[in-house]
Amino acid sequence: MRRSLAVLGGTGDLTGRLLLPSLASLVATGAFPHDVEVRAVGTEDWDDDGYRDWARGRLAAHAAEVDERARERLISCLRYRRGDVTDAGQLRAALDGLPGVPIVYLALPNTVFHPTLEALVEVGLPEGAQVVVEKPFGRDRADARALNEVLRRLVPEEAVFRIDHFLAMQTVLNLLGLRFANRIFEPVWNAGHVERVEIVFDETLGLEGRAGYYDTAGALRDMLQNHLLQLLALVAMDPPHAIDDTSLPARKADVLRAVRPPADLARDTVRGRYTAGTVAGRQLPDYTAEDGVDPSRGTETYAEFTVTVDNWRWAGVPFRLRTGKALGSDRQEIAVHFKPVPHLPFGDDQPEPDVLRLRFDPDGIDLEINLNGAGDPFDLEREVLQAALPRQELPAYGVLLRELLAGSTTLSISDVEAEESWRIVEPVLAAWAAGEVPLLEYPAGSSGPAQP
Ligand SMILES: NC(=O)C1=CN([C@@H]2O[C@H](COP(=O)(O)OP(=O)(O)OC[C@H]3O[C@@H](n4cnc5c(N)ncnc54)[C@H](OP(=O)(O)O)[C@@H]3O)[C@@H](O)[C@H]2O)C=CC1
Ligand SMILES: O=C1O[C@H](COP(=O)(O)O)[C@@H](O)[C@H](O)[C@H]1O
């Protein structure tokens, strides 16, 4: 079946920095079907050649990863149409004459998802068409419901791909292999053996010129509501019957339904905002002094909360999720902390309990355990069993685009997951908006807000 890819928002940062390079990687690996037209739609007054020049410039930044032949092959598949995609007439004209069955990718600010989907309903899509929606999926649960409702009028749920690129990261996919292709982890993967789980995605990056989006979103909506809750879902879900487009989203949805929002919002949530400081030798201004930031919004650049999962497997185990910008290090990992042994036959000094860490970028898995020391055989020493994972052949967006072109939605977020994730964060959003939790400050380059 011939496919075409219409990228609405085809002149944006996501398209230039991530989608086009990922498509070029697919060309380079032979995973890009030769007859796919990629049609970008934006408001710039360009023709095909003007767009190709822009794309060539953006792709040049990826010369080290993708050779020129592959980049030029992709460029030859690109077309451009101008139009306001929220206007049904202009959208119809922009999509007119797309060859084959289209995949319509909303690489747009989430504020225009809804009017664009309404316009798509008016235009109508042919049988077999797929619709891709970027993140964050709405601004709150009501908005996510409204988006799901209009999507249902447009295409069947199995034709919707809600993007979360974390699901295509090597470490995340390895969590599935680690848990479900080995016998040794599942028997201890429960409240009987696990004391707590930390899901951490600290970034040294600051705002990086993204105020237009980020200052209205903040760390909670940008990262915790979607990426980090997806990681929680993969850590905590029950084994799926198969890694496919029904079992995997269904098991994730089950566990998200069981997540209880933070019990005590003042105690179990932290929000912060960076002030001026130095990160890895780079001087960053106060967040409020960044171009395009409106300090009166009180946007957080650091967000943390602790939740529990109300089911048999996880009763009482805290899951702490944290993320922040302009922090001192890129600590990015899922850390599963096990309980101490029930009886230690080596004296009274309890060693640190075991920790399993799944690390991001560089991807790897560390198992921290206690062994007998080299000197006194009855002394204990900490050892780390390490697996460094080879670099992924395709970037995360490349994996998702390959799945999409193959018609698979296994790595998509389902309608239920999207709404449940908003249910979990809504009490936090409400408490923060009402000023019930102080907005703490932390210097750029530090380890985050000092908690009282
Ligand atoms: N950038 C990133 O690193 C990431 C972005 N995302 C998500 O991707 C989406 C896009 O983000 P990003 O590319 O950064 O945003 P940008 O603001 O850079 O780009 C948005 C694009 O949408 C176009 N656009 C906006 N409104 C309309 C309209 N009514 N009609 C036609 N075109 C329109 C803009 O065109 P014009 O400028 O001409 O108006 C532009 O091409 C967001 O949902 C974001 O959350 C997800 C992960 C990472
Ligand atoms: O979606 C987003 O993710 C990035 C982090 O992911 P990475 O693949 O770029 O490491 C984050 O920086 C950004 O704020 C957020 O929108």
Does the pLDDT of residue 394 top 80, yes or no? yes
Query: Cα–Cα distance between 36 and 56 in angstroms, integer?
Result: 18
Q: Write the ipTM.
A: 0.98
Does the pLDDT of residue 289 top 80, yes or no? yes
Q: Could you report the per-residue pLDDT of 306-336, keeping only the tens digit for each?
A: 999 999 999 999 999 999 999 999 999 999 9
Structural domain that includes position 97 = 3-134
Please enumerate in sequence order all residues whose Cβ is within 8 A of that of 57, keeping only pairs 6 or more positions apart, or say none: none
Say whether both 201 and 272 belong to one domain: yes
> Residue 133's pLDDT is what?
98
Say whether both 297 and 345 belong to one domain: yes
Question: Partners of 387 in the beta sheet?
Answer: 365
CATH number of the domain that residue 292 is part of: 3.30.360.10
Region of residue 433 (left: phi > 0; alpha: psi -120 to 50; beta: else)? alpha
pLDDT-derived band at 57 (thresholds 50, 70, 90) equals very high
Is 152 contained in some domain? Answer: no
Q: Is the distance from the beta carbon of residue 202 to the nearest atom of ligand 2 less than 6 Å?
A: no
CATH number of the domain that residue 34 is part of: 3.40.50.720
Please enumerate in sequence order all residues whose Cβ is within 8 A of that of 342, keeping only pairs 6 or more positions apart, or say none: none
Q: Break the chain down into helix, strand, coil percent, rounded to 5.
A: 40, 25, 40
- Could you say which of 113, 134, 155 is where a domain stops? 134
Say whether both 172 and 118 belong to one domain: no
Say whether both 100 and 228 belong to one domain: no
What is the distance in angstroms between the CA of the first residue and the CA of the last residue of the chain? Answer: 60
Say whether both 221 and 300 belong to one domain: yes
Which H or E run includes 160? strand 160-162
Say whether both 107 and 204 belong to one domain: no
**Residue with the two structure tokens 């602790």:** 306
> Residue 123's pLDDT is what?
98
Say whether both 227 and 112 belong to one domain: no
Q: Is the distance from the beta carbon of residue 47 to the nearest atom of ligand 1 less than 6 Å?
A: no
Residue minimizing CA distance to atom 1 of ligand 1: 14
Residue minimizing CA distance to atom 43 of ligand 1: 109
Q: Is the distance from the beta carbon of residue 203 to the nearest atom of ligand 2 less than 6 Å?
A: yes
> Residue 374's pLDDT is what?
81
Say whether both 222 and 74 belong to one domain: no
Average pLDDT over residues 406-415: 95
What is the distance in A from the centroid of ligand 2 to the CA of 353?
32
Q: Could you report the per-residue pLDDT of 61-82, keeping only the tens digit for each?
A: 999 999 999 999 999 999 999 9
Say whether both 76 and 209 belong to one domain: no
Does the pLDDT of residue 273 top 90, yes or no? yes
Is 51 contained in some domain? Answer: yes
pLDDT-derived band at 49 (thresholds 50, 70, 90) equals very high
DSSP secondary structure, 197-265, as one string: EEEEEE-S---TT-HHHHHHHHHIIIIIIIIIHHHHHHHHSPPPSSSSTTHHHHHHHHHHHTEEPPSSH
Say whether both 69 and 213 belong to one domain: no
Which H or E run includes 420? helix 415-433
The structure tokens listed for 193 are: 């053996």
Which H or E run includes 439? strand 439-443
> Residue 287's pLDDT is what?
98
Is 143 contained in some domain? Answer: no
- Residue with the larger pLDDT of the pair 374 and 32: 32
- Could you say which of 90, 116, 134 is where a domain stops? 134
Average pLDDT over residues 411-440: 97
Q: Is the distance from the beta carbon of residue 222 to the nearest atom of ligand 2 less than 6 Å?
A: yes
For residue 182, give the DSSP letter: -
Region of residue 97 (left: phi > 0; alpha: psi -120 to 50; beta: else)? left
Residue 56 has a CB neighbour count (10 Å cut-off) of 16
Does the pLDDT of residue 47 top 80, yes or no? yes
Average pLDDT over residues 273-288: 97
Residue 342 has a CB neighbour count (10 Å cut-off) of 5
Sequence-ordered strand ranges (E) for 11-148: 37-42, 78-82, 101-106, 130-133
Residues designated as active site: 227
Is 252 contained in some domain? Answer: yes
For residue 191, give the DSSP letter: T
Q: Please say whether the beta carbons of 154 and 124 come within 8 A.
A: no
pLDDT-derived band at 357 (thresholds 50, 70, 90) equals very high
What is the distance in A from the centroid of ligand 1 to the CA of 275?
27
Average pLDDT, the chain: 96
Is 321 contained in some domain? Answer: yes
Number of domains composing the chain: 2
> Residue 376's pLDDT is what?
81
> Residue 179's pLDDT is what?
98
Q: Could you report the per-residue pLDDT of 245-267, keeping only the tens digit for each?
A: 999 999 999 999 999 999 999 99
Say whether both 96 and 235 belong to one domain: no
Does the pLDDT of residue 377 top 90, yes or no? no
Residue 294 has a CB neighbour count (10 Å cut-off) of 11
Is 161 contained in some domain? Answer: no
Is 452 contained in some domain? Answer: no
- Residue with the larger pLDDT of the pair 275 and 376: 275
Does the pLDDT of residue 452 top 80, yes or no? no
Is 96 contained in some domain? Answer: yes
Q: Please say whether the beta carbons of 406 and 162 come within 8 A.
A: no
Strand, coil or helix: 159: helix
Say whether both 195 and 114 belong to one domain: no
What is the distance in A from the centroid of ligand 1 to the CA of 42?
9
Q: Is the distance from the beta carbon of residue 333 to the nearest atom of ligand 2 less than 6 Å?
A: no
pLDDT-derived band at 171 (thresholds 50, 70, 90) equals very high
pTM of the model: 0.96
What is the distance in A from the centroid of ligand 1 to the CA of 77?
21
Does the pLDDT of residue 378 top 90, yes or no? no
> Residue 217's pLDDT is what?
94
| Distance of alpha carbon 29 from the chain centroid | 24
Q: What percent of the chain has pLDDT over 70?
A: 100
Does the pLDDT of residue 19 top 90, yes or no? yes
| Ligand 1 atom with least separation from CA of 43 | 38
Query: Cα–Cα distance between 399 and 31 in angstroms, integer?
Result: 10
Query: Cα–Cα distance between 100 and 128 in angstroms, integer?
Result: 10
Does the pLDDT of residue 9 top 90, yes or no? yes
Query: Cα–Cα distance between 58 and 131 in angstroms, integer?
Result: 25
